[in-house]
Amino acid sequence: MNVLEIKNLTKVYGGKAAVDNVSLTIKKGDIYGLIGQNGAGKTTLMRMITSLARPDNGTIKLFDESDPAKMHAARSRMSATIEQPAMYPNLTAAQNLEFYRIQRGVPDKSIVKKSLEFVGLTDTGSKKFKNFSMGMKQRLGIALATMNSPDFVILDEPINGLDPMGIVEIRKLIQTLNEKGITILLSSHILTELSQVATKYAFLHHGKLVKNLTHAELQEECKTALAIVVDDAQKAAAILETALNIRNYKQVSAGEIRIYEQIGNGAEISFQLAQGGVRISSMHEVGDSLEDYFKNMIGGGSNA
């Protein structure tokens, strides 16, 4: 089942496209990561999905429903925190959730306590929201987003500004939500952190979708290899298999082979190839880090 399907979605502000002809599909059970620099269009895209902004072009289908008359019911199965969680600064965590419980017509009064327990905020007592740490604020935002038992949750930069411990806490919450069967769309400008939880990715740059891939495909593209340029790659492959029992390799061309195991065993690999009559022109490690991959994806620069 498709939880969300958007086609050719576009939003223009002041003559400039904040989101430019973006299409993507999120399936039930996905943890779908939007990755892009600040200003890439992530928040604008989320605002259109949640009806906080009206698209200038394109279509949105939610839970396989696109009929405008039925979209309200479809959106009732979705919850979101866009930008900063909208909390009252002088209210406690419980008071904030109680306000929204009443506003949203959630009949179960125990849901406030359950939501606070889920995000680990039951011990905040009379502490006001304005005195919360960034991590506490983000956790309360997740409590609010999940209080109505949604099937689909949207989280905008949930790890932004958090220390390493806070990032780990939010990551665990996201994974737990997904284990409960909730489909998640979240954004970040930090690919290394997003890669810890996401199952699929959409790379946005200047409002355009530049690439769409799964977690397995991302890992494959960033995988480190020992690239060996030789005079006969086919012969080299046979030697690697018979002399060193290397099976995880790829013949890139007639003159290059890439090895994905025994990468630190370059001296022995070189020796065995030479013994087999294969001439080596060069041998070096290749493969992007996640940070480098992101920078190359958007044409260089910082990912901050």
CA distance 170 to 142: 9
Q: What is the pTM of this model?
A: 0.80
d(C-alpha 249, C-alpha 264), whole Å: 14
Give the confidence band of 301 by pLDDT, cuts at 50, 70, 90.
Answer: very low
* Class (C level, CATH) for 2-220: alpha beta
Give the DSSP per-residue string, 132-192.
--HHHHHHHHHHHHHTT--SEEEESSTTTT--HHHHHHHHHHHHHHHHTT-EEEEEES-HH
pLDDT (average), residues 104-112 = 92
Among the residue ranges 20-24, 61-65, 223-227, 277-281, the one predicted with the least confidence is 223-227
Residue 295, judged by CB atoms within 10 A of its CB (0-12, 13-18, 19+), counts as middle
Chain segment 26-58, per-residue pLDDT in tens = 999 999 999 999 899 999 999 999 999 999 999
- What values do phi and psi take at 109, rounded to 5? -70, -25
The residue whose two tokens read 């089942």 is 1
Burial of 229 (0-12, 13-18, 19+ CB in 10 A): middle
- Over the stretch 179-198, which tens digit does the pLDDT of each residue have? 999 999 999 988 888 888 99
Q: Work out the average pLDDT over 103-120.
A: 93
pLDDT number for residue 115: 95
For the chain, give every residue range classified as CATH 3.30.70.100: 223-287
The beta strands (E) that lie in 87-207 are given as 152-155, 183-188, 200-205
Ranges of CATH 3.40.50.300 domains, the chain: 2-220
The residue to which tokens 């790659």 are assigned: 233
β-strands 78-81, 152-155 pairing:
parallel
The listed CATH number (3.30.1330.30, 3.30.70.100, 3.40.50.12160, 3.40.50.620) that belongs to domain 223-287? 3.30.70.100
Answer yes or no: is pLDDT of 161 > 70. Answer: yes
Percent of the chain with pLDDT over 90: 72
Pseudo-torsion of CA 166, 125, 115, 121, nearest 10°? 20
